[in-house]
Amino acid sequence: MATNQVFQQSEKVRPILQPWLNSFPVASNFVTKGEVEQVGERDYRIPVKLQRAGRYGTMDKDGGGFGRGNAMAGDKLISSFFTTRMNFEMTQKQKDATAKKEIALVSVFNDALKDGMEHYALQEDFSFHTDGTAVMATPSAHAVVSGKSVYTMEANIGNQWVRRGQLPVIYATAYGSIRSTSLYVQSVDFPNKKVTMSGTVPGGAATDIFCFEGVSGLSAAPAWKKGLGYFINSSTSSTILGLSQSSEPEVVSNSINVNGVVSWQSGMALLDQIDSRRPESSSKLIGLANRAQRAQVMIQEIQLSRWDRAKKDNPIDVLPNIQMQSFPFCGVDVYIDPQMDRSKMIFWNPKTWGRARMTDLHWHETSGGQRFFPLYAADGGPAASEWFGLTMDEDWYCFDIGAQGMLYGLTLPTSY
């Protein structure tokens, strides 16, 4: 009876799973589904424009020839759809409590799904900020405290993409070996950028690397979804979806190494750099910046402010509205993005991005329609618990990398 009740609930929400996931206010949801050509079982292809149509010049009208013209030229970007999932479990006791609505105080399934969908969107947003690898955190120190590994993360991304309950794949230096896949994150200390694991990581060191759950392989960072850091960076020699930056500068993004405090001069220089390549796109840009760079901009704005106050005037708060979701910088509306690298500010055009999606978000189910699966105890007997999961196959892409850019090497204000 309880199983039927839960299945009916899952069927009721099935049609809205994808729109629900894309409704949360995270940066990745600026990007909408695009049209791509599927090639092969899991690959897709998108066109990229490299040259505009037409040849401009002069000619001799006294019997001279016009000369040839040319067409718009381009190439193709090829990548693969990427599978992600979000798994849940419910105990028999919790499930039985939802079988009769008149005695149920809380629908465990509905609450788990409501919380889990928001969590899924957040994890997807973490992925959107990566550089195409599965790296989620980079430690700078390691210690064992009360039998548990405590990692302190580097300053720029820190532990922003780490949450309680995650089971990260912890690699040793240079991905030479995997130290742990079974220890989970017990606690996250955000102000101090610390992560405490559920036990001692064998051989744990300050040079370890945290990666998202489920990846494998050695010697190099495991591949992951292709987000902001994959397309917008300072590289000039990488390969972007099959095209080499060394031979094709159109897949190189704009970037300026500030190597200091963010300034309006550096922002203007980046906008001019973008404008020189894509003048039609500069007016469509929006920005993304961590709270640290919002603070850095506001600190300078406060210093520039001049207040003429009479002796009898009450004190005023010179701090700009800290509750705002965005702030103006160099004429660009910059959204406050808590997942952004603290040392960067990005100017981008979401209209030049898309989602390549092979399957919408859906329940994992067998060919017979089973969605809820029994778990088993360590002795092989059945456990009083059931498993269910959500999954989808998609990735992000950018078809006009030259239309965006970033400021990097930005110093952080005190306490950030």
The CA R_g of the chain, rounded to the nearest whole Å, is 26
d(CA 340, CA 347): 12
Q: Identify whether 162 is part of a domain.
A: yes
Q: How much is the pLDDT for 183?
A: 98
Say whether both 344 and 332 belong to one domain.
yes
Q: For the chain, give the longest Cα–Cα distance.
A: 96
CATH of the domain at 326: 3.30.2320
Residues 89 and 190 in one domain: no
Report yes or no on 232 lying in a domain: no
| φ/ψ bin of 343: left (φ > 0), alpha (ψ from -120 to 50), beta (otherwise) | alpha
- Same-domain check for residues 247 and 261: yes
Report pLDDT digits (tens) over 52-76: 778 778 777 888 888 888 777 767 7
222 membership: H or E segment, kind and range: none
125 and 16 within one domain: yes
Helix axes 108-128, 2-13, angle to 10 degrees: 40
What's the rounded Cα separation, in Å, for the pair 410 and 292? 10
Q: Which two tokens stand for residue 256?
A: 């300026």
Pairwise CA distance, residues 175 & 135, whole Å: 11
Tell me, yes or no, whether 63 lies in a domain: no
pLDDT at 312: 61
The answer on 347 and 359 residing in a single domain is no
Q: Which of 183, 186, 213, 216 shows the shortest CA–CA distance to 200?
A: 183
Tell whether 385 is covered by a domain. yes
Residue 150 phi, psi (nearest 5): -120, 120
Is 139 in the same domain as 257? Answer: no
Q: Is position 69 within any domain? A: no
CA distance 289 to 306: 26
225 near 127, Cβ under 8 Å?
yes
Do 116 and 89 belong to one domain?
Answer: yes
**The predicted structure's pLDDT at residue 1:** 41
Q: Return the pLDDT at 51.
A: 72
Residues 146 and 124 in one domain: no
Distance between CA atoms of residues 139 and 205, nearest Å: 8
Both 15 and 127 in a single domain?
yes
Whether residue 227 lies inside any domain: the answer is no
What pLDDT does 55 receive?
A: 77
**Which residue range forms the structural domain that includes residue 146?**
135-211
Residue 133 DSSP one-character state: B
Same structural domain, 380 and 285? no
Residue 155 and residue 198 in contact, taking contact as beta carbons nearer than 8 Å:
no
Hey, how many other C-beta atoms are within 10 angstroms of the C-beta on 294? 24
Contacts for 30 with CB less than 8 Å, ≥ 6 apart:
286, 350, 353
360 and 383 in a single domain? The answer is yes
Do the domain assignments include residue 65?
Answer: no
Residues 81, 149 within the same domain: no
DSSP string for residues in 178-215 = EEESS--EEEEETTTTEEEESSPPTT--TT-EEE-TT-
Rounded to whole angstroms, how far apart are CA atoms 283 and 279? 8
Element housing 171 (H / E): strand 169-171
User: Residue 291 is encoded by which pair of tokens?
Assistant: 């709270």
For residue 314, the model assigns a pLDDT of 59
- How far is Cα 240 from Cα 401, in angstroms, rounded to an integer? 10
d(CA 197, CA 48): 44
In this structure, is residue 298 part of a structural domain?
Answer: yes
Residue 195 contacts residue 141 (beta carbons within 8 Å): no
**Rounded Cα–Cα distance for residues 340 and 128 (Å):** 10
User: How many domains are there within the chain?
Assistant: 3
Using CA atoms, how far residue 253 sits from 225, 249, 337, 348, 407, in Å, is 18, 8, 20, 10, 11
57 and 64 Cβ atoms separated by less than 8 Å: no
Q: Tokens for 173, please give them.
A: 């230096």
Helix/strand/coil for 229: helix
Per-residue pLDDT tens for 243-281? 899 999 989 999 999 999 999 999 999 999 999 998 877
pLDDT tens digit at each of 416 positions of the chain:
446 667 777 888 888 899 999 999 999 999 998 888 787 777 888 877 777 778 778 777 888 888 888 777 767 788 889 999 999 988 877 767 655 654 454 477 888 889 999 999 999 999 999 999 999 999 999 999 999 999 999 999 999 999 999 999 999 999 999 999 999 999 999 999 999 999 999 999 999 999 999 999 999 999 999 999 999 999 999 999 988 999 999 899 999 999 999 999 999 999 999 999 988 777 789 999 999 999 999 888 777 765 555 566 555 555 656 667 889 999 999 999 999 999 999 999 999 999 999 999 999 999 988 998 999 988 988 898 889 999 999 999 999 999 999 999 999 999 99
Spatial distance between the Cα atoms of 38 and 46, rounded to a whole number of angstroms: 9
